[in-house]
């Protein structure tokens, strides 16, 4: 996203054969858009309502099929992953979840 100098980027799953209505929104860190629908305090008070779990799963599945090759080389990212895991492990009560 840095190369485009974008503050907001939306990704719609139907553009790569995913379900309609499922999407992702990239928000640059210091930007805090005002919510347009008020209700539950999801996503740091940015979104109201319940997640569309089936849509999210379809979005991820379609994205994995559309982009079969990882963007980053696993060997190049391994040292970064290791240093992040070590840094997180130094804080009491913290743990790292995800694939190894």
Q: Is 8 a residue whose pLDDT tops 60?
A: yes
Average pLDDT of every residue of the chain: 80
pLDDT of residue 88: 76
Residue bearing the bigger pLDDT, 28 or 94: 28
Please state the three-class secondary structure of 46-70 as a single string. Answer: CECCCCCHHHHHHHHHHHHHHCCCC
Residue bearing the bigger pLDDT, 10 or 91: 10
By C-alpha distance, which of 27, 26, 24 is closest to 58?
Answer: 24
The whole-model pTM stands at: 0.54
Q: Is 31 a residue whose pLDDT tops 80?
A: no
By C-alpha distance, which of 60, 35, 59 is closest to 49?
Answer: 35
pLDDT of residue 55: 93
Contacts of 55 (CB under 8 A, 6+ apart): 13, 19, 21, 22
């Amino acid at each position: 996203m840095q190369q485009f100098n974008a503050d907001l980027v939306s990704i719609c799953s139907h553009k790569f054969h995913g379900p309609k209505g499922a999407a992702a929104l990239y928000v640059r860190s210091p930007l805090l858009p005002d919510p347009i629908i008020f209700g539950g305090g999801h996503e740091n008070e940015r979104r109201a309502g319940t997640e569309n779990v089936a849509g999210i799963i379809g979005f991820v599945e379609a994205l994995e099929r559309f982009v079969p090759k990882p963007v980053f080389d696993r060997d190049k990212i391994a040292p970064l992953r290791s240093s992040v895991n070590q840094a997180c492990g130094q804080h009491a009560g913290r743990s790292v979840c995800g694939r190894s």
